[in-house]
Structure 1
Amino acid sequence: MSKDSTAPGRTVARLLEVAGTTYAREAGIKLADKPAPLYQLLVLSVLLSTRIKADIAVAAAKELFTAGCTSPKRMLEASWQDRVDALGRGHYVRYDESTATALGDGARLLLDTYSGDLRKLRDRAAGDVGELRNLLCEVPRLGPVGADIFCREAQDVWPELRPYLDRKTVSGADRIGLPRDGAELAKLVADRDLARFSAALVRVSLDKKTADQVTTA
């Protein structure tokens, strides 16, 4: 079946079936509104925001977490070389040294500014999504791209972010024949599925083969 003849509801169902795994879940993060998993999502967002394949960023995040870097305190307790080695095991080799430094600097910022708890950053934003993004962008190596990644995934546990469907998700939607308007896209899924939906749209925007799996029988 072609994307032109597929009803939106059927396309969405197929999209979630093929690509509806959040990046957090892929990295082994059990996302909840708690300090450790929120921090782990932040680390993953930093890794995903560089010009490197998503599967490599996910693998590197897993290696960091396996090495014990699961909170800002534990990230700082690990040596710079420990971080470099973990990133290397995940084949995150182009940016391993600079990223190891940025992760240490970011952990220090979070401890000094928010006592290591991203819920305090959320409180400071007071429900203003734009301000939340601005505060996230203060984290070393995150930037606007990383802030978008974090918000797309965090909408699963921070309702004020919903619906978070940015230009990257709209690009994926266009590729498989879904509406290009974020508000219209949000109507196609339940709130509980928005994070999965946005991740799936990003996946099809990045990979034509995944898009073809959604749009062809």
Structure 2
Amino acid sequence: MIRKTASHAIRALGLRHGTEYFVPSMSTRTVVYKGLLLADQVGQYYRDLMDERAVSALALVHQRFSTNTFPEWALAHPYRLVAHNGEINTVRGNYNWMRAREGAVRSPVLGEDLQRLWPLIYPEQSDTACFDNVLELLLMSGYPLAQAMMMMIPEAWEQHAHMDPRRRAFYEYHAAMMEPWDGPAAIAFTDGRQIGATLDRNGLRPARYILTDDERVILASEVGVLPVPESR
């Protein structure tokens, strides 16, 4: 609430660079390092990453060039919850549906203060930024991370003849609540406690993972991103 209120207030001032204001994270569990940087420049810019005392049970890293937006620091990956390889082709429709629902959303906890969250999505954002905003809203509303992701990027369940009936019922129920965010997409996500990844329903983006003998899980868009001996 504090972050969204501040962002709206700064934009309302009409400052020349007001749209560049961006808070990567106010989480107590995650630290987000963003920048228009090459992979080998991140540690040089954020010096704490070079400190051996900096330890994490999980890490989400992404490097890519912008394809449908002009490069900006605020739009660099990762976002607060996700990193994304691909494009959300339905983003305009998803954006319009989310804006249309703002007037119907209610919260017994926030009450009238809920209005301070809107607009949830800024029109000039990238597709991934829009996705991240909606995922954050679902998490803050009490949805588990995995369930929220399955709502936003469902499997191709309609014509799946062998899908478990309970799984089909899950997707059918949530299809009435939210339209799918479709497109060639491989999305990794974390809330600081869990980390995961998913592909779009057509599987149009690559993802490979390995499990090492010291119980590390490494997932990337291709094999060989990290040097792991085959014996491991």
- TM-score (norm. length: structure 2): 0.27
More helix by share: 1
| Structure showing greater relative contact order (alpha-carbon pairs closer than 8 Å, 6 or more residues apart) | 1
- TM-score (norm. length: structure 1): 0.28
More strand by share: 2
